[in-house]
Structure formats: C-alpha cells, structure tokens
Amino acid sequence: MTDVVILGLGYVGLPLAQEAVRAGASVCGYDVNEAIVASLNACRSHVDDLADSDIAEMRAGGFTATTDEAHIASAATAVICVPTPLSEDGGPDLAAVKAATRTIARNLRPGMLVILESTTYPGTTDEVVRPLLESSGLRAGVDFHLAFSPERIDPGNEKFGPRNTPKVVGGHSAACADRAVEFYGRFVDTVVRTKGTREAEMAKLLENTYRHVNIALVNEMARFCNQLGIDLWDVIRAASSKPFGFQAFYPGPGVGGHCIPIDPNYLSHNVRSKLGYPFRFVELAQEINATMPEYVARRAQDILNDSGLAVSGSSILLLGVTYKPDIADQRESPAVPLARLLQGQGAKLSYHDPYVEHWNCFDGGVPRVDDLSSAIAEADLVILVQSHGVYDADRLAGQARRFFDTRGVTKGPDVYRL
C-alpha cells in the first residue's frame, strides 16, 4: 500500500511529494510525460525550487515516478496537481483535471481519499470531479473521500514552502474534510479548514484577485505619476511607514506567472457565465495589467525620441526575461509581449538573463549576450525588465547610455524609471 500518489509532477506536485517523503510517507508520482518521469527517476529536477540533490534525497526515501496508472489503485490518497491554463473563452481549461480524474476513477477503491489541488472556479470539485469519480460506481462521502485544497506554491520563495505555508482544506463532507486534514497534518504545520469545497476554491481566487487588483492600482498610478513628475517609488516607501492599514504593492512592466494573470479570470468567467454580469474590478485590473508592456514600449520610444533616435534601428537590451526574480520560470512573462512590441517597431533586440540560455519568444528568437558589460555600453537603450539578484542595477545603469528601470531598484538620478 502506498500512502499517496500525486498526479502531475510540476511546480506544485513535486514540492508536495518532497514534503510527504520527508515526513516518512511512501509517495508515488504519476505523470503522462515520459521524459519527466525518466528524468526524476534518474534524480534530475526540472523545477526551480528543487535541485538534483533534492530529487536524489527523495528517491533514497522511496519516491518513484511512473506513467503506469495501475499504481494509483494501491494508494490511500490521490492528489491532483495538474495545470489549469486559460481556455479560449477565458475560463479554465479543465482538460488535464478531467483526464487525471478519469484516471483515478478507473483505479478508485473504497476508502480512498481524492484531493484536487489545481486552481479552478468554485464548484469544480463538486460539479466536475465528483461526477467523474462516481462513474466508477462509488459515492463521494460514502464510499470514498473527496476534498479540495488549493496549491499555494510560490516558486523561488526561500522563506515559505509547502511545510510552513498554511494549507486550506475543504471537504465534500465533514468526514471527507477530517481525512484531508489528517493527511496534510502529517507534513504541513498549519491546516485551515473551510465549510466546504466551494469555500476552499474561492479562497485561492480571492488571494490572487486581491494581488491582481492592487498591482493594477499601482500600475495605473505609475502612469499618471510619471506625467505629474511624482516619484511613485518614493510614495510607496513613505506610505509603507504606516504600521497598519496599508500593504505595499509595486508597479512593473506587466504581471506574469501561473497565478495572478490567470486565476482571477476564472472567477470573472464564472461570475459572467453563472450570474450574467461582470466582475468589474477583475476585468478592469486585467485591462490595466495586460497593457503595461505596451506602456513600457511607449516609454522606451519616448526615451529614444528625447535623444533624437527612433525605435526602428536602435539597439535595445532587455535585462531579465523571467516572470519573477532569481528563477528560470518564464510563464506569462511580460518580457514576451514587450519584446514583440519592440521588435514590431524595428528595434534590434538582444537580452541577458542568467537563468535563460535560449529565449524563443517569437520566430527566430532574441539573441543572448554573453559579455554583459560590453552589451550595456553599446546598447542605445537598456531596459531592466526583471531585477535578478545578480544584477547590480546602479552599477549597470552607470555603464549604460540610457537605462530604463521598470522595477524601481535603482537610486541614481540619471535613470529613467517606470
């Protein structure tokens, strides 16, 4: 008997497997990607937060990865950690969730606990996952246990990981919740119980909608503060001195990653489709955040124009192309639409990123520079898109003809800031 099988071995499933193994659980990882399974079994990691040595430690603790769904039948708990990207109509694409659920249904046993961790709209666990599982002939809350527990993985976060980030859990029934709380309690410090699965599903969306809306607020402020000659970064620093009633959010060239640009749209789509009216805060925030790369491109054009240069034919170096600092993850990175906009205007683009060897953001890709100092000195404009820790922004700005800081990390006077 295996304690847990985790379906989906990416940024969510693999750290979860690591914590379970460390707690002494027997863990099997299931994935349909044969290359990922082979790599993990050979002790090679494909995610930022886990090194090859971490995978080797997991393997020594009994972890194994497989593409054979028969292993699911021998597990006490099955956790679904597959991706839910946006579909063409703006809602979540549940194809991977449905496929994983059908796989579990074919191997479901009485007494098994099934948990969905993939982010989605409220009602998915009960309206989509439960019927597929019950096609096995077993009933949720009677023959097997069913729960939802939203993933809260923050790639690259050195302070909070799966163990010390509180785990929200909502069960199909009280008994289902009890089983899920007991399961996570083995390797998570704090488990927070909700009234049901819908509350747990909504909690995740509220978290990221809160961030989405507040980032949009400062992004819009960045636009008019620039026109008014106000240093927004200094404004935020001053406002942050208040010990209550304020939380700092910062503007940037756009919002990236697998959560903030995507998750609030699940909720907006759900409200429109079920209730028939818009979630206006989310839709406005999406509009503002989605147009930030265009705003940065216009600012770049203005900076070059002030020196009598056109974007067309000018050499522009982009520093940092990942969606957040100090990781290699490029999902929904605002550097991609920014590069496409500048390339469309005829700019001679190049990039540097210590975590990205090849950047194919459009056909032909963007050439990578190896000699950073020379590239900065030669570029007509350097744009800091992502502030990786290895970048000494003030020093780099001092080497550049023109330096556009979209992250507010420079202090010198001869720098253009967002």
Measured between its terminal Cα atoms, the distance across the chain in Å is 56
Phi, psi of 188 (to 5 degrees): -120, 135
Known catalytic membership, residue 259? yes
The label of the residue with tokens 């990390």 reads 409
Spatial contact of 366 and 350, defined as CB atoms under 8 Å apart: yes
160 CB neighbour count, 10 Å cutoff: 12
Q: Which two tokens stand for residue 402?
A: 């023109």
Helical ranges in 111-231 per DSSP H: 124, 130-134, 174-184, 197-228
CA distance 247 to 222: 17
Give 3-state DSSP helix, strand, coil % of the chain, rounded to 5: 40, 15, 45
Provide the 8-state DSSP code for 24.
Answer: T
Residue for token pair 């886990």: 50
Q: How far is CA 20 from the centre of its chain?
A: 22
Catalytic residue among 81, 176, 259, 361: 259
Edge-to-edge order in the sheet of strand 75-80: 64-66, 27-30, 2-7, 75-80, 113-116, 145-148, 167-171, 191-193
Task: Return the structure tokens found at 3.
Answer: 């304690």
Give the catalytic positions in this structure: 259
